[in-house]
Chain A
Amino acid sequence: MKLLVVEDEVKTGEYLRQGLSESGFVVDLARTGLDGHHLALTEQYDLIILDVMLPDVDGWRIVQALREAKSTTPVLFLTARDSVEDRVKGLELGADDYLIKPFAFSELLARVRTLLRRGSTPVLHDQLQVADLVLDLPRRRAQRHDVRINLTNKEFTLLELLVRRQGEVLPRSLIASQVWDMNFDSDTNVIDVAIRRLRAKIDDDFQPKLIHTVRGMGYMLDVSSGA
């Protein structure tokens, strides 16, 4: 997967490149709007991450040029300006998603993966399986080690999200928005409690442990990382 990052802020650009590279992406970094514009139109990318505020050619012009050239490459905006008009403008011009600075890197990563997945047609399984955990999607039932586990509706949705995106760190804000449709930060540790309860049901009596806390970032469901 090849990504283009257009970011004029030196430190941010460098860390984005490092972080995304270490997460398994090939990353091109453009430091000016002009370079970004050129690369976006001449190279093939799976996704473009654009800073809106660039000194020469701003992010909006780049996405406009991209859409005029009939390119469907997904575009994710990074913006420090949190105004409704800005968001609407970006989305109207053909951006696929936006993130407001300061953002958590885990959040960016999760959004990037969501956008990349969007292109491929999702395979509709009736069943999801990780290690010995099996999710029966139509009946909304879970079982582990052939033992049926009673989950509430929301617990099942949460588990399904974790399983579908196994191996990815899911930030609390993403979990809140995907499972409960709460699109804002809350002061509470609601997500932690919910995860703790889910864990008690599916991990406490079984091995290996599946749900992992990634400190300061979020939660992840994974088999291999036996931490």
Chain B
Amino acid sequence: MTRRPASLALRLTVSIGAVITLVLLSFGWIIERSIDTHFIQQDVDELNALVQAVAQSLSEPLPGATTDDLKRRLAGAISGHHNAQFRLSDSSGTVIYATITRGLDGFARLIPSADAINIDTVKMWQDKGQTYRGAAVQLMPTGVLDDKPLTLAVATDIGFHLHYLESFRTYLQLITLVACLIAILATWFAVYQGHAPLRRISAEIRRIKSDRLSIRLAPNTVPVELTELAVSFNDMLDRIEEGFQRLANFSADIAHELRTPITNLRTQTEVVLSQPRDAEQYQEILYSNLEEYERMAKMVGDMLFLAQADNNQLQAEQIEVNVRTEVQMLFDYFEAWAEERSVSLLCQGPALCVQGDRLMIRRALSNLLSNAIRYTPVGQAVTVTLVAHSDATVIIRVENPGLTINPEHLPKLFDRFYRADPSRQRTGDGAGLGLAIVKSIIDAHGGTITAKSAAEKMIFEIQLPRVSIDE
């Protein structure tokens, strides 16, 4: 069992929603990154200011001062900077001065650089519940500490920034989520609205019933994308309406064709029974009835055959059938009858094989031949010509001289109960189902049949898929 495909609205909503979500997420990420970078830059500026301040205090000579004096000056150097810490050490790593004594192990890991601090040289670490960002630089003091190179590590507590970032991120996520939801809902609504023409067409189609097959969709009132659908739907309706009409006519024809013999039977029987008669007369009426029954039974049989063909229930056996042999057999069968009508039978062409049901093909050819013989004037000939049209097709042409039939009537010859001449009813040539049966047999074999008429000649041409004969 194949699964039913997901609904169009769902598919569109999911794919558009996914795209919007992706866009919003990357947008949020970019905003977050840029704010983060902005804060780092701020920190870097702060750190550079610190370095500047410390360097300033080390550049003013302090002759004869004690270490404590220096420390005091250093402590005052960063008085305007909250949250800032620094540590000054000499080249051997001995701490000269540090703003705090604990929780600054991170200082030890910093690699000092000669230049000013920038985004790439700052590091971030956590210590004792505080988060710091810091860096280290080399300093050359002038006039203090014997002018030996020093390492200055500075750090600033960025907890406040982080806190702000954290709440901003939460806020951003919330906004993104809400925006996504709104976008998806809006998409779904738009898609639903977009399908409105479909629902309208569907409502229109629902109005079509078997008794209102004339309703058609108007292709110019639907969106361009649906025009083709509307047009093909209308074409389908045309075909259905035609088939329906034909079926309705067929049923009416059946009723009509059966009504005549039933009326005959009934009237005859009533008349005969209206007064006592002798046995011979009863016998006569029963015989006459018998003939009528036979005709009806044959008609019912033919109609059943056609009904099966309509329902694609004709199960054509697939064997190789030599058409020439079949024609010859049929000639044998019709010979006496044709001779009595002074009609000769001719068969031309090579032995050709088709794939199919021997009995059905014989029946089709028999109907065509009996038809041809019936309408051939005395003294003339029915000709069957077999042609190998190509490797793939066999043409069987049944040709007889006779009346020229108006071309507009030709396709109707294969209609059920159709008679070119309405007055020719019931003169022993069946119920007018013969050619319809031929057509359904040929159709069931994947072939075609056409009727042509010109210059007092009637030609039926059958094309059937060919089977090559193994010599």
Contact between B308 and A190 (Cβ–Cβ < 8 Å)?
no
CB distance from A217 to the nearest CB of B (A): 7
Q: Pick the contact of B300 from A84, A102, A154, A193 — CB < 8 Å?
A: A102
Which A residues are within 8 Å of any B CB, using their own CB? 82-84, 100, 102, 104, 154, 176, 180-190, 193-194, 197, 215-217
Contact between B370 and A187 (Cβ–Cβ < 8 Å)?
yes
Contact between B333 and A185 (Cβ–Cβ < 8 Å)?
no
Q: Pick the contact of A180 from B297, B301, B332, B340 — CB < 8 Å?
A: B332
Contact between B290 and A189 (Cβ–Cβ < 8 Å)?
no
A-B contact pairs, 11 of them (CB 8 A): A104-B297, A180-B332, A182-B362, A182-B366, A184-B359, A184-B366, A186-B366, A187-B367, A189-B428, A190-B334, A216-B290
Which of B175-232 touch A at CB < 8 Å? none
Report if A102-B297 is in contact (Cβ < 8 Å); known contacts: A182-B333, A187-B429, A189-B337.
yes
CB distance from B282 to the nearest CB of A (A): 13
Contact between B304 and A82 (Cβ–Cβ < 8 Å)?
yes
Which of B286-332 touch A at CB < 8 Å? 287, 290-291, 293-294, 297-298, 300-301, 304, 308, 313, 315, 329, 332
Q: Which residue of A lies closest to B297 (CB)?
A: A102
Interface of B is mostly: helix
Complex A-B, nearest 7 residue pairs according to Cβ-Cβ distance, in ascending order: A216-B290, A187-B430, A180-B333, A190-B337, A193-B337, A102-B297, A193-B336
**How many residues of chain B have a CB within 8 Å of chain A?**
33
Is B434's beta carbon under 8 Å from chain A? yes
Best-buried of B294, B359, B362, B434 by chain A (most CB within 10 Å): B294
* Chain B hits for A100, CB < 8 A: 301
Contact between A184 and B428 (Cβ–Cβ < 8 Å)?
no
Interface of A is mostly: loop
Q: Pick the contact of A83 from B308, B335, B362 — CB < 8 Å?
A: B308
Which B residues are within 8 Å of any A CB, using their own CB? 287, 290-291, 293-294, 297-298, 300-301, 304, 308, 313, 315, 329, 332-337, 340, 359, 362-363, 366-367, 370, 373-374, 428-430, 434
Docked complex Cα distance between A190 and B334 (Å): 6
Contact between A187 and B336 (Cβ–Cβ < 8 Å)?
no
* Chain B hits for A154, CB < 8 A: 332, 335
Docked complex Cα distance between A181 and B328 (Å): 12
Q: Which residue of A lies closest to B371 (CB)?
A: A187
* Chain B hits for A182, CB < 8 A: 333, 362, 366
Contact between A181 and B329 (Cβ–Cβ < 8 Å)?
yes
CB distance from A82 to the nearest CB of B (A): 6
Best-buried of A104, A176, A216 by chain B (most CB within 10 Å): A216
CB distance from A189 to the nearest CB of B (A): 7
* Chain A hits for B429, CB < 8 A: 187
CB distance from A27 to the nearest CB of B (A): 22
Contact between A216 and B340 (Cβ–Cβ < 8 Å)?
no
Contact between A217 and B308 (Cβ–Cβ < 8 Å)?
no
Docked complex Cα distance between A108 and B47 (Å): 118
* Chain B hits for A82, CB < 8 A: 301, 304, 308
Report if A188-B370 is in contact (Cβ < 8 Å); known contacts: A84-B315, A181-B329, A193-B337.
yes
Report if A217-B332 is in contact (Cβ < 8 Å); known contacts: A184-B363, A186-B366.
no
* Chain B hits for A194, CB < 8 A: 336-337
CB distance from B283 to the nearest CB of A (A): 9
* Chain A hits for B304, CB < 8 A: 82
Q: Pick the contact of B290 from A176, A185, A217 — CB < 8 Å?
A: A217
Q: Which residue of B lies closest to A192 (CB)?
A: B337
Docked complex Cα distance between A217 and B298 (Å): 14
Contact between B313 and A83 (Cβ–Cβ < 8 Å)?
yes
Q: Which residue of A lies closest to B302 (CB)?
A: A185
Docked complex Cα distance between A176 and B313 (Å): 26
Q: Which residue of A lies closest to B304 (CB)?
A: A82
Docked complex Cα distance between A217 and B334 (Å): 21
* Chain B hits for A186, CB < 8 A: 366, 370
* Chain B hits for A176, CB < 8 A: 333
Docked complex Cα distance between A216 and B366 (Å): 23
CB distance from A11 to the nearest CB of B (A): 14
* Chain B hits for A181, CB < 8 A: 329
CB distance from A51 to the nearest CB of B (A): 18
* Chain B hits for A188, CB < 8 A: 334, 337, 370, 373-374
Contact between A187 and B297 (Cβ–Cβ < 8 Å)?
no
Contact between A216 and B294 (Cβ–Cβ < 8 Å)?
yes
CB distance from A157 to the nearest CB of B (A): 10
CB distance from B266 to the nearest CB of A (A): 18
CB distance from A79 to the nearest CB of B (A): 12
* Chain B hits for A189, CB < 8 A: 337, 428
Contact between A185 and B370 (Cβ–Cβ < 8 Å)?
no
CB distance from A216 to the nearest CB of B (A): 3
CB distance from B177 to the nearest CB of A (A): 64
* Chain B hits for A104, CB < 8 A: 294, 297
CB distance from A182 to the nearest CB of B (A): 6
CB distance from B215 to the nearest CB of A (A): 36
